[in-house]
Homo-oligomer: A and B are copies of this chain.
């Protein structure tokens, strides 16, 4: 399954969270599942906070990348871009809000489901729900902003 991150320009594919070209990174992939977006992640044993539970900073990171990836998917759809090679739009995070409802167990896959709550020409708001073992553990809201193709060059 390809993620939007597979379609970023090489220059935009260096993110520690989701860049396919960052050899130290987590290589998160974000894709559509009907009207929602999905990112999955299997934490390593050492991505811990209190033993047995995932580190909150790691969960914030996954939600962050899921937000910018979901926004990029939404802008691609809005602009009728057929994703091929490296022609995806790229977003950065303007703000991130995370609520830890319960500790997230570390012994399995994590799934983040995204909903495009709002979108205009340059800005999108993504609502995220993070599940472990089918239980909702964390919620998030990300405001992501579209950047020009030469951003940071």
| A interface residues (Cβ-Cβ under 8 A, vs B) | 11-12, 14-17, 19, 22-25, 44, 46-53, 55-58, 60-62, 64-65, 90, 92-100, 103, 147, 151-152
Instruction: Pick from B23, B44, B64: contact of A60, CB below 8 A.
Output: B64
CB atoms of A25 and B46 under 8 A apart: yes
Chain B min CB distance to A61 (Å): 3
A7 to B11, CA, bound (A): 42
Known contacts A46-B24, A61-B58; A98 and B100 CB within 8 A of each other: no
Known contacts A46-B22, A99-B94, A99-B95; A62 and B57 CB within 8 A of each other: yes
CB atoms of A96 and B56 under 8 A apart: yes
Chain B min CB distance to A102 (Å): 11
Residues in B whose Cβ lies below 8 Å from that of A98: 60, 95-97
A17 to B49, CA, bound (A): 8
A49 to B64, CA, bound (A): 11
3 closest A-B pairs by beta carbon, nearest first, are A57-B61, A50-B152, A60-B60
CB atoms of B17 and A55 under 8 A apart: yes
Known contacts A94-B99, A95-B100; A57 and B65 CB within 8 A of each other: yes
